[in-house]
Amino acid sequence: MGGSVRLADHSAAALRELAAGGATVLVPVGATEQHGPHLPIDTDTYLAEHFSLRCAEEVDGVLVAPAIPWGLSGNHVPLGGTITLRPTTYLELLLDVAKGLIDSGFEDQVWVNGHNGNKPTLSLLVQECQYRWGATIATVSYYDFGGQRYGEVRRSERGGEFHAGELETSLMQMLTPDRVGPTDGVGGLVEGLTEFDPVDVSGPFAAHIGVDYAARFPDGVAGDPTVASVETAAEVAEADLRGLIQFVGEYRDREGS
């Protein structure tokens, strides 16, 4: 497939040909929410789109749809700089976008997520597309592919990356350094409320407890961005990208596709 990997760069006629040729569409989904005093509010969307574009450049027959910049970010609203959707609104938005792509001939879709709060709704999207239209779409969160590698190269202790901490700051320093501010005195290690609720992206968790995010993390940061480094970002980003590329390739080659 020649030309731009961005779906929006093509005409409707060209897209009909690409769809007939079996192209897969990646849909980056993120959030518009505060990321502390040092990171831009489009961090989640920017990173999801970045990894989607890099993947499409390496896997033949893949296009990238315009990123969806809003998600479920209600906990961040009191800290400002946040636009959130209601869960029902969000699901309907995702379903409308998915159906629009299906109607344009793109039944193979991989939704590439950059915001943890979106995961439950994206799981519903997968189920509903199969139930309503028989479309076998997929969803992944790019950062899950690099979780093990992050655990190996990190500089912070466990609790150093949950939101706007070491890893997100490292990635943004590497990819868009002019948009990253000072991290002196920002954030701190996250301590769990129990042994089972999340404190870090490096490992799974069994429980989800509702909290007043602004009261618990008054500067908006859950983690330690002061130890962020481009070297850490490079290692983890490579793992994120390789995992995404492998998944998309296997998805495109799956039986019955």
Indicate which CATH number applies to the domain containing 221.
Answer: 3.40.50.10310
- pLDDT band at residue 256 using 50, 70 and 90 as cut-offs: low
Range of the domain at 140: 7-252
pLDDT digits (tens, 9 = 90+) for 136-174: 999 999 999 999 999 999 999 999 999 999 999 999 999
Give the pLDDT score at 206: 87
Q: How far apart are CA 169 and CA 227, in angstroms?
A: 9
Q: What is the mean pLDDT of the chain?
A: 96
Structure tokens at 79: 């800290």
- pLDDT band at residue 257 using 50, 70 and 90 as cut-offs: low
177 residue type, one letter: P
Using alpha carbons, select from 223, 232, 220, 219 the residue that is nearest to residue 170.
Answer: 232
- The answer as to whether 257 is a domain residue is no
- The answer as to whether 1 is a domain residue is no
Give the pLDDT score at 198: 87
- pLDDT band at residue 255 using 50, 70 and 90 as cut-offs: confident
Average pLDDT on 118-130 reads 98
- The answer as to whether 237 is a domain residue is yes
3-class SS at 67?
Answer: coil
Q: What total number of domains does the chain contain?
A: 1
- pLDDT band at residue 124 using 50, 70 and 90 as cut-offs: very high
Give the pLDDT score at 151: 93
- Exposed/middle/buried for residue 182 (C-beta within 10 Å: 0-12, 13-18, 19+): exposed
Structure tokens at 56: 């499409």
- The answer as to whether 2 is a domain residue is no
Outline where the chain has alpha helix (H).
Answer: 12-20, 43-58, 87-103, 119-133, 147-153, 166-175, 213-216, 230-252
Give the pLDDT score at 201: 86
- The answer as to whether 144 is a domain residue is yes
- The answer as to whether 129 is a domain residue is yes
Backbone dihedral angles phi then psi of residue 239, each to the nearest 5 degrees: -65, -40
- The answer as to whether 102 is a domain residue is yes
